[in-house]
Chains A and B, each alone.
Chain A
Amino acid sequence: MNPEIEAAINALENVHRIENCSKDEMTGLAMEMTHAVYPHDEMFGPFCTVEEYIQCPAQSAYDYLADVYTLSEWTYSLRDFTRMDADGMTVATDKIGSATKIYTKIKTNPEAMTVDYHCSWDQGDELWMIYLMRIVPAPLVLKREGCVVLWTNCHHPYYDQNPFPEKSPPGRNIWVGDMWPFFYAGHWLELQNLKHILEFRYKNGLPMKWNGPPVEGE
């Protein structure tokens, strides 16, 4: 490391390295920061992360999540997906907003086992509701069979204000961001759906991929 840059970095406020912060000081900071309880806003204001252990192999969980149509099974309210167009876009109904259309593109990385859903209510030109998921093999991190799913959502400014009110279906008087204070609860419950559905499918040898909008009987 360039010593001048390093010195400048060590001088930055809020940078704590063993070079500029002793172990005692570090313990002190950690103690200051460790409370018994935290206000909800402090925990889930700008970001909302949920995580869960699932008793099914990481690859199976990845296959399931990487198939955009399974959203109609494990989410609380996304239903009636159209077949993906040439651009990779699917349109579904988010029944939490009655007739609200939700536009979704999926971006996956099989090697890293990341699955990102880029979504938006009402329009597909700017997909700003982005759900970042990562599947980690549990043998690595928990020394047990199965996998861990990490799911993060960032508090995009559009959650606070609908940028395209003219695109709302008539008569809808709620906005997806109104529910931000419930996102932790909502996403945790959906993650429980995911866990129990995946465990059920895996245990019973049911398919982990759909490859198309759900058909009758699936």
Chain B
Amino acid sequence: MSPISLVGAASYMPRRIVDNRFFQIEENEEVHVMFRGVKLRHHVSKDETAAFMIDQAARKLADRLNLNLQKDVDVLLTNVTLPDQPFTGCGAIVCHGLGIRPKWVLDAHNGGCVSFLYMIGWAKAIMATYGAKTALVANVQNAGGRLFSQEQNRYRKQARIPGDGCGVGYLVANDESPVRSIDFRTYGEYAADMNAIRDDGVPWYEPSTHSGYVDFTEAKIADIMARANRMVPEVIKSTCKQAELPLDAIDVFITNQPNRIFLRNWREAVQVRPEQHVQTFERHGNLFGAGLPICLEEAVETGRLQPGHHLVFGGFSHAGDYAAAAVVHWKPGGN
């Protein structure tokens, strides 16, 4: 298959920054260990739609990489936690805002925390099949402001974890900064363990006075942890093997950031040092799918990711329905 390169990332972080007091009923309240470790997170406001955030991040990326978006986007892929519109997706609105007319637009709704990798995989397939040369992939996480800032939700124990943000990445059909391997796993048996629910049981599309929120099956917590411990290192190791990259040759490691224990466990499992594992959990919370491109930008901007480095992505989505990993030989510009 023809090579695909990941050459840059940029973010848009919502204006509103929320500290932990927002979620506390009383002072000095004990926080469940699963939900500890976040100090700050961003929350979207009403005017910060998914399309707006992608627009802002894409313009920043274009400035950084010297792109002419009108010419340089053949493919647009988006993944949004809570879509602006349930029917239509936001891809077309993004195109209109940026003044671009890519031939291939796909608003993907699955893949969750590893949807960035899925979109890279699809971009690669579209490039190989149709000869597209460039792709903009965009992740928006907005469940913090849209769901967990609601009065009925903000005191739930998981409310402090989601943080909002948008991350975009840019892909080109060449081998300047190649994705050396990318792989995916599907575990449909775990799909029903995370649900968008309401306390009165009314489905999200019917009227109700109860706020909707996302919850895990409480009885499955130990099992979810065990599967995360198993499936994420497994897909990372096998993807590294496909790229013929020994684990001790990993320079920079980026995973999704659901909580600090998963971060610790994945880092330990592939034996990278904490400073190699780029994450922003303490100040951004769980960024869901946006975490990977936002942490990529963080790695570049802080100089932790240098040309020539071997960059490894990995993670899983929701309660374990998908897992994915990718190995990138990072050298944008082809140096």
Contact = CB atoms under 8 A, between A and B. Distances in A.
A179 interface: no
B34 A27 contact: yes
Interface string B215-237: 00000011001101110110000
A35 B264 contact: yes
Interface residues of A, number: 12
Nearest to A32: B33
A36 B269 contact: yes
Contacts of B33: 24-25, 27-29, 31-32
Nearest to B228: A36
Contacts of A36: 228-230, 232-233, 265-266, 268-269
A27 B268 contact: no
B231 to A, nearest CB: 10
Nearest to A24: B32
Size class of the B contact interface (CB-based, 8 Å): 10 to 19
Contact of B229 (A24, A28, A32, A35): A35
Contacts of B266: 36
A37 B34 contact: no
Contact of B233 (A25, A29, A31, A37): A37
Interface in B256-299: 261, 264-266, 268-269
A31 B34 contact: yes
Interface string A1-45: 000000000000000000000001101111110111100000000
B268 A31 contact: no
A25 to B, nearest CB: 8
A34 B233 contact: no
A35 B270 CA distance: 12
Contact of B222 (A24, A28, A30, A35): A30
Interface string A29-66: 11110111100000000000000000000000000000
Nearest to A28: B33
A40 to B, nearest CB: 13
Interface centre among A25, A35, A36, A37 (most CB of B within 10 A): A36
Contact of B225 (A24, A29, A34, A37): A34
Interface centre among B229, B261, B266 (most CB of A within 10 A): B261
B268 A28 contact: no
B265 A35 contact: yes
Contacts of A30: 222
Contact of A27 (B221, B226, B229, B232): B221
Contacts of A31: 33-34, 221, 225, 261
Contacts of A29: 33
A46 B269 CA distance: 23
Contacts of A32: 33, 261
Interface string B27-60: 0001011100000000000000000000000000
A38 to B, nearest CB: 9
Contacts of B30: 24-25
Contacts of A25: 30, 33
A27 B30 CA distance: 14
Contacts of A34: 222, 225-226, 229, 261, 265
Nearest to B225: A34
21 contacts: A24-B30, A24-B32, A25-B30, A27-B32, A28-B32, A29-B33, A31-B261, A32-B33, A32-B261, A34-B226, A34-B261, A34-B265, A35-B229, A35-B264, A35-B268, A36-B233, A36-B265, A36-B266, A36-B269, A37-B233, A37-B265
Q: Report the 6 A-B pairs with minimum CB-CB distance, sorted nearest first.
A: A28-B33, A36-B229, A36-B265, A36-B269, A37-B269, A24-B32
